[in-house]
Amino acid sequence: MKNILIIGDLPELKAELEKTGFFSVVKTSPSIEARELEKIDILIVDSRTVPYSKYIQNFSKFLKKIKSNYYIAGDMDTYSTVNKKLSSYGIIVIPPLLTDTQISQKICSLSVEDFYEGKKTVCFFGSGPEVGVSMISTSVARLTAAITEKSVVLLNLGGREGSDYFNYSSSGSGLAGIKDRLINNILTTEELKSSCVKDKNLYILPGEKEISKVRHYHPAHIEKLTGLSNKTFDITIINGGSTVSGMSIGALNSSKIKYMVATQSEKNFKNFSNLQEQIFSKLGISPDDFSLVVNKYIDLPELDTEIVLAKKYRMQVALVIPLLDYPLSLEAEKERKTLISYDRLFSSSIKELSVSMCNALGIEIAGATKNDGEGRSILKKILGKA
């Protein structure tokens, strides 16, 4: 196990790293002293304690002694100034807006082998409004529950209730009902389960009902929720919406797999570009952290192909879903069902995405060892009720 030295007054980060149980020693120091660097594997330096000018004068001394070095930028100006130069020396610069939990997770992901092995969280986020995040995330959750027979939860964290494609009657269900206990860190696994709408092994947590209250959810609250969800369910799927908030930021930072849902709309691409430049870059989220799901695709020479979109978004394409008949979409919306039960091409596309996702998570498909007839019967059941 490795030893960590933090240069700076960061007791919360120290506690987060100790809590992981992955490190032998996590200690802090107010300054960089040669004797402190003995037997240290990971060095974390806070820019508020050691300014960049001082750090750059001394970093050659500890680069030879310590293999893993991190520099926490205190503000965006510092991050923009130092990131490129320090990165060229193998020093990882931490963006200023990350929480202590997120910094801890980042360090663990880079220094602990198979750190994400038990993390089964997937987030769908949209490049703009009306790209189909709710439809796709709900469909994937429903089909994944059917083909894996594992407990699957869909967390609606896009700033809306997210009940467009499922019915429920309990007024006490959902995120709003557990908000206080979540924020106070006293929410239990059983309380999380009981706040969900249940359909066999599929659980759906309706989102916040009141738009004005979305701002009260900070990324740290969502980290707690997804952490508890990982302990409660086998697979966690998140509808992250298409608007940046404390909810969606926490959801994206907590997810092993991230899907960007987009269309051929230039307006949506410009919206994504603005988000990447102004927000995601400050959170250490890059385009290659996402896989691209191209929805409502129209094969016309005047429009971008999936290959062009992949280059523009700088992401690998995970799936292309063609534009479906508009009346079918309206009918599904009216009946509060997904398009799985209305269109076989859509259901096949969602199955392809779900299987690929499960493979990436290391989740076995229940019908993988069955013959094709049995496999088709699973999909047939879904088509009848999704």
Structure confidence at residue 368 as a pLDDT band (50, 70, 90): low
Per residue in 116-146, pLDDT (tens digit) is 644 799 999 999 999 999 999 999 999 999 9
Residues 273 and 200 reside in one and the same domain: yes
Structure confidence at residue 366 as a pLDDT band (50, 70, 90): confident
- Residue that is last in its domain, among 62, 88, 111: 111
Supply the pLDDT for residue 148. Answer: 94
Per residue in 318-351, pLDDT (tens digit) is 999 999 888 888 888 888 888 888 888 999 999 9
User: Is the four-CA dihedral 346, 348, 353, 354 of positive or negative sign?
Assistant: positive
Supply the pLDDT for residue 244. Answer: 92
Place of tokens 């797999």: 257
Q: Provide the domain count of the chain.
A: 2
φ, ψ at 304 (rounded to 5°): -65, 140
Residue-range definition of the domain harbouring residue 73: 2-111
Residues 238 and 257 reside in one and the same domain: yes
Residues 163 and 14 reside in one and the same domain: no
Residues facing 261 on adjacent strands: 126, 293
The mean pLDDT of 59-79, rounded to a whole number, is 85
Nearest to 136 by CA among 260, 310, 313, 226: 260
The mean pLDDT of 243-271, rounded to a whole number, is 94
φ, ψ at 234 (rounded to 5°): -75, -40
Residues 184 and 50 reside in one and the same domain: no
Q: Is the pLDDT of residue 110 over 90?
A: no
Bridging pattern class, strands 197-199 and 202-205: antiparallel
State pTM to two decimals: 0.82
Residues 189 and 249 reside in one and the same domain: yes
Q: Are the C-beta atoms of 360 and 140 separated by less than 8 Å?
A: no
Structure tokens at 157: 């964290």
Q: Are the C-beta atoms of 162 and 168 separated by less than 8 Å?
A: no
| Percentage of residues in the chain having pLDDT higher than 90 | 57
Residues 256 and 339 reside in one and the same domain: yes
Supply the pLDDT for residue 384. Answer: 53
CATH of residue 187's domain is 3.40.50.300
- 116 part of a folded domain: no
Supply the pLDDT for residue 106. Answer: 86
